[in-house]
């Protein structure tokens, strides 16, 4: 992971950089500043600065995400996607500013917020699918032999919600990456959250599984009226599903619709360096100067500043 960024002006939707028209911006009731969409906001950031290891990662961000919005969180390695999720979970205090979820200040252990961390290694290898999901029941621990009737029912409902009843009795070690992702998603649903934070749930899936996963999450979110923030390195599997994009780069954030944010002009302004948005074959590519993907490489201009 690379380092953070110097403090830079806020570039969220209400003060988008040149080239980022914010037609859908309206005045938020409780956030107190303009935001995208027409629903009441589910997530508010007011002048928020976040740091990791003493380095500023996101600087003076203000934005509001409406309830029920499906948001793709994009940005290169180290852009601050996980840091933002941790802050919304109450795990990383802000250096400055205020974050709220459903009108309340963020707090650790808020069961209204479901979280699926990045899956970097095998989770729950020796357990069955059912036990792995049950292990996330509130107050439970791995391997406990007994669950309440309500807890068991919640596990069954969560497995059904992600079409994973057939995985319930199979050992997790024998499941594919996509099948394990479904179990992890089921875990996040146990507490019937109103906000889902999904950190790179598409990592290591093939394109067909990526699309299937996005569609499943989208359908679930619509049915349960959940606000979803899903981080990703490729925008393409999310196209047509996102209500909004939250794009992080150089310590700044830009929130809006795909058409507002994913433009050469808007992203060049956000990165502060030439970036091309190229559309080909129904796909979108964000290309940095020199030809590489801007979503794969972290532009470190300004790195090294400390909070
Ligand atoms: N535990 C830590 N201690 C110190 N610095 C950290 C820590 N975790 C992350 N960082 C730094 O914070 C910055 C943001 O990291 P973060 O994980 O939020 O980025 P990300 O956008 O989620 O990246 P990726 O796409 O690679 O997962 C990076 O510069 C990273 O090196």
pLDDT band with cut points at 50, 70 and 90 for residue 200:
very high
Q: What share of the chain is helix, strand, coil (3-state, %, to 5)?
A: 25, 25, 45
What pLDDT is recorded for position 248? 96
Atom of ligand 1 nearest to the CA of 85: 18
Does residue 142 contact residue 125 with C-beta atoms inside 8 Å?
A: no
What is the 87 CA–ligand 1 centroid distance (Å)? 12
Model confidence at 294: pLDDT above 80: no
Q: What is the pLDDT of residues 8-56, one digit of tens each?
A: 333 334 333 444 333 334 444 456 555 555 667 899 999 999 999 999 9
- The residue contributing the CA closest to ligand 1 atom 19 is 78
Model confidence at 212: pLDDT above 80: yes
pLDDT band with cut points at 50, 70 and 90 for residue 154:
very high
Model confidence at 181: pLDDT above 70: yes
Name which of 81-90, 142-151, 257-266 the model is least confident about.
Answer: 142-151
**CB 83 less than 6 A from any atom of ligand 1:** yes
What pLDDT is recorded for position 281? 87
- The residue contributing the CA closest to ligand 1 atom 13 is 78
Q: What is the mean pLDDT of the chain?
A: 81
What pLDDT is recorded for position 249? 94
What is the 171 CA–ligand 1 centroid distance (Å)? 32
What pLDDT is recorded for position 176? 86
Atom of ligand 1 nearest to the CA of 76: 25
**CB 86 less than 6 A from any atom of ligand 1:** no
What pLDDT is recorded for position 136? 86
Give 192-247 as a DSSP string. Answer: --SEEEESSTTTT--HHHHHHHHHHHHHHHHHHT-EEEEEES-SGGGTTT-SEEEE
What pLDDT is recorded for position 147? 77
What pLDDT is recorded for position 139? 57
Domain segments of the chain as ranges:
1-112+193-307, 120-192
What is the 51 CA–ligand 1 centroid distance (Å)? 9
What pLDDT is recorded for position 88? 97
Find the mean pLDDT for residues 217-222: 94
Name which of 215-219, 267-271, 301-305 the model is least confident about.
Answer: 301-305
**Is pLDDT larger for residue 141 or for residue 262?**
262
What pLDDT is recorded for position 196? 97
What pLDDT is recorded for position 297? 45
Find the mean pLDDT for residues 265-283: 91
What is the 199 CA–ligand 1 centroid distance (Å)? 12
**What percent of the chain clears pLDDT 70, i.e. is strictly above it?**
76
Q: What is the pLDDT of residues 90-134, one digit of tens each?
A: 999 999 999 999 989 999 999 999 999 887 566 656 789 999 999
**CB 157 less than 6 A from any atom of ligand 1:** no
Task: Please count the residues of the chain.
Answer: 307
What pLDDT is recorded for position 188? 93
**CB 52 less than 6 A from any atom of ligand 1:** yes
**CB 58 less than 6 A from any atom of ligand 1:** no
Dihedral, CA atoms, 179, 182, 184, 185, nearest 10 degrees?
170
Distance CA(186)–CA(227), nearest Å, equals 16
Question: In the Cβ-directed half-sphere of 31, how many Cα atoms lie within 13 Å?
Answer: 31
- The residue contributing the CA closest to ligand 1 atom 7 is 52
**CB 296 less than 6 A from any atom of ligand 1:** no
What is the 182 CA–ligand 1 centroid distance (Å)? 25
Q: What is the CATH number of domain 1-112+193-307?
A: 3.40.50.300
**CB 100 less than 6 A from any atom of ligand 1:** no
What pLDDT is recorded for position 22? 37
- Residue partners of 240: CB distance under 8 A and separation at least 6: none
**CB 24 less than 6 A from any atom of ligand 1:** no
Atom of ligand 1 nearest to the CA of 84: 18
What pLDDT is recorded for position 203? 86
Q: CA dist 51 to 3, 198, 268, 278, Å? A: 10, 20, 24, 32
Pocket test for ligand 1, best of 51, 56, 57, 252 (most atoms within 8 A of CB): 57
Q: What is the pLDDT of residues 232-257, one digit of tens each?
A: 989 999 999 999 999 999 999 999 99
């Amino acid at each position: 992971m690379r380092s953070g960024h110097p403090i830079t002006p806020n570039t969220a939707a209400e003060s988008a950089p040149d080239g980022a028209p914010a037609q859908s911006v309206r005045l938020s009731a409780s956030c107190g500043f303009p935001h995208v969409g027409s629903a009441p906001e589910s997530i508010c950031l007011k002048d928020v600065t976040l740091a990791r290891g003493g380095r500023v990662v996101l600087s003076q961000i203000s934005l509001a995400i409406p309830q029920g919005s499906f948001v793709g969180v994009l940005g290169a390695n180290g852009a601050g996607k996980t840091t933002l999720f941790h802050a919304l979970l109450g795990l990383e205090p802000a250096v400055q500013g205020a974050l709220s979820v459903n009108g309340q200040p963020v707090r650790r252990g808020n069961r209204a917020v479901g979280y699926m961390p990045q899956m970097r290694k095998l989770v729950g290898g020796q357990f069955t699918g059912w036990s792995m999901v049950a292990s996330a029941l509130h107050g439970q621990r791995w391997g406990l032999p007994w669950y309440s009737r309500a807890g068991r029912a919640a596990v069954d409902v969560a497995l059904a919600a992600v079409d994973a009843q057939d995985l319930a009795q199979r050992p997790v070690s024998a499941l594919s990456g996509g099948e394990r992702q479904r179990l992890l998603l089921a875990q996040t649903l146990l507490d019937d959250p109103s906000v889902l934070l999904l950190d790179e749930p598409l990592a290591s899936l093939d394109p067909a599984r990526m699309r299937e996963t996005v569609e499943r999450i989208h359908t679930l979110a619509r049915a349960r009226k959940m606000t979803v923030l899903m981080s990703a390195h490729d925008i393409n599997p999310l196209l047509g599903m996102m209500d909004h994009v939250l794009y992080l780069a150089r310590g700044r954030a830009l929130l809006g619709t795909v058409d507002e944010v994913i433009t050469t002009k808007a992203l060049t302004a956000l990165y502060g360096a030439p970036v091309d948005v190229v559309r080909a074959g129904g796909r979108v590519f964000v290309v940095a100067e020199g030809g590489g993907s801007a979503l794969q490489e972290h532009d470190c201009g300004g790195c090294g500043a400390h909070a």
